[in-house]
Structure 1
Amino acid sequence: MLRHLAKQFSANCGKMTPNSSSRLLRKRVAREAALLLYSSQEKEYKQAKERAAETLGIRVLPTNREVAEELDAIAEELEGRNRQNRLIRMRKEALDIMCVLKSFHPKLVGSVWRGTAHRNSDIDIAVFSEDPNLVVNVLNSKGFRIEKTEFAPTPERGKAGASFHVFVRLPSGDEVEVVIRDPEQRSLRYRCEIYGDTIKGLDIEGLRKVLAENPLQTFVPKRRS
């Protein structure tokens, strides 16, 4: 199916004249990059875009948002109604684990917050603690299956830093990545590398409200005209 989508898109783009705009070329690269991300052949947008451009022999690169929009379209085409059901389930799972970690001020971020999750997405939750072991101990005490933990570099406004990541596998098969940051970072605002907006996320009450009122609500900023 992915190969069919790629061929179909290439055929449509093949009708372009030599003077076609860079916008259409970017869209072609964005589609190819999105296919690489969706099929898990690449994990990062930068590498996916560069590989897609090289494969297609095109020098212009799309924005991360353009790739994200193609990725969203592919997921919608291939997953249909199952995608909506999965998003609701993942948001409910996120609420459950956030309630367990409520003393660490959890926030749901990533694609499950955005409402753009697809079948290969995980649940991203940010928490704050001076001691990562406290978070790990709570998860263990509640019977969560921790698959691995690791430190990862996180540059903060030009300064080198690190966060502790805990990967949890849920009974549904979904993966949760809990990112543990220093409490001093609670007031920091992070810019999204994909959409360019501030990552606000959802706290427990915010997520409860979404699930009660509009469980499929999306949090994607509108394009600037």
Structure 2
Amino acid sequence: MENNRSAGLRRRVAREAALLLYTSQEKEYKQAKSRAAQTLGMRILPSNAEVAEELDEIAEEREGPSRGERLSQMRKEAFQIMAVLKAFHPRLVGSVWRGTAHRNSDIDVITFSSDHNAVLDSLVRGSFRVVRAEWCSVTKRGRKESSFHIYFVLSSGNKVEVVVRSPEKMSFLGKCEIYGDVVRGLSYSQLQRVLKGNPLQRFVPT
């Protein structure tokens, strides 16, 4: 009985956190969970995966069939971007890779180059209108890591973030903070196969 009650409370917090993320009131899972728990007067915190599951349900409920159409479009747009960046070994990651994208999702692409300006120039030559480009640093396992981030908006209104990492990081597969699995993403050729075979294919742990 106690386990059922605990599970119910976790789901309430997860649902509230997911709603905060879906409506863009919060951008990060950690902050969304803390705010949701505070709003509901609870101390229990769900896992990121539990929040992601609720977020997926909310998106499905609110967007219906248009959600699949949007995902297919975003993957096609990602493919076009990756074609321009083919020399930099692009990989599609994030919710568009996972197949869990919703109306507020961005297209996330990782590239690898020792010259971030070369990636930036390729996008400009490809007629993508860059709105911002900057260095970002994060600390992982006590080590500071930097990468170059390029932001632009497509004619469809979809937002894109292209990250430029050192070529040394090409073989490194990071751990997903949401699902806990390895972030493999999709290469240009892999995305091409997905678009031909099953444009709505999902890549989430079962």
- TM-score tier, shorter chain, comes to over 0.9
2:85 paired with 1:101: yes
What is the CA-CA distance between 1:165 and the residue it aligns to?
0.5
SS of structure 2 residue aligned to 1:154: strand
User: Distance in 2 between the 1:52 and 1:107 partners?
Assistant: 33
Residue 122 of structure 2 aligns with which residue? Answer: 138
User: Distance in 2 between the 1:102 and 1:211 partners?
Assistant: 17
Residue 134 of structure 2 aligns with which residue? Answer: 150
Q: How does 1:195-214 map to 2 (within 5 A)?
A: 195-214=179-198
- Structure 1: runs of 5+ lacking an equivalent: 1-16
Q: How does 1:107-146 map to 2 (within 5 A)?
A: 107-146=91-130
The worse-fitting range, judged by mean Cα deviation, of 44-53 and 136-145 is 136-145
Counterpart amino acid of residue 129 in structure 2: R
What is the CA-CA distance between 1:110 and the residue it aligns to?
0.2
Percentage identity across aligned positions?
60
Residue 179 of structure 1 aligns with which residue? Answer: 163
What is the CA-CA distance between 1:155 and the residue it aligns to?
3.1
User: Distance in 2 between the 1:155 and 1:181 partners?
Assistant: 15
Q: Which has the higher relative contact order, 1 or 2, with Cα contacts under 8 A spaced 6 or more apart?
A: 2
Residue 150 of structure 2 aligns with which residue? Answer: 166
What is the CA-CA distance between 1:158 and the residue it aligns to?
3.2
Match of 2:55 among 53, 64, 71: 71
Residue 49 of structure 1 aligns with which residue? Answer: 33
Match of 2:15 among 26, 31, 37: 31
TM-score (norm 1): 0.89
What is the CA-CA distance between 1:20 and the residue it aligns to?
4.9
Match of 1:59 among 31, 43, 61: 43
Deviations 1:124-175 (A, max 9, x none): 0000011111111111111101010111113344311111100011010001
SS of structure 2 residue aligned to 1:172: coil
Aligned length: 206
Higher strand share: 2
User: Distance in 2 between the 1:72 and 1:144 partners?
Assistant: 30
Counterpart amino acid of residue 143 in structure 1: S
SS of structure 2 residue aligned to 1:192: coil
- Structure 2: runs of 5+ lacking an equivalent: none
2:200 paired with 1:221: no
Match of 2:71 among 73, 87, 106: 87
User: Distance in 2 between the 1:19 and 1:63 partners?
Assistant: 16
TM-score (norm 2): 0.97
User: Distance in 2 between the 1:133 and 1:155 partners?
Assistant: 24
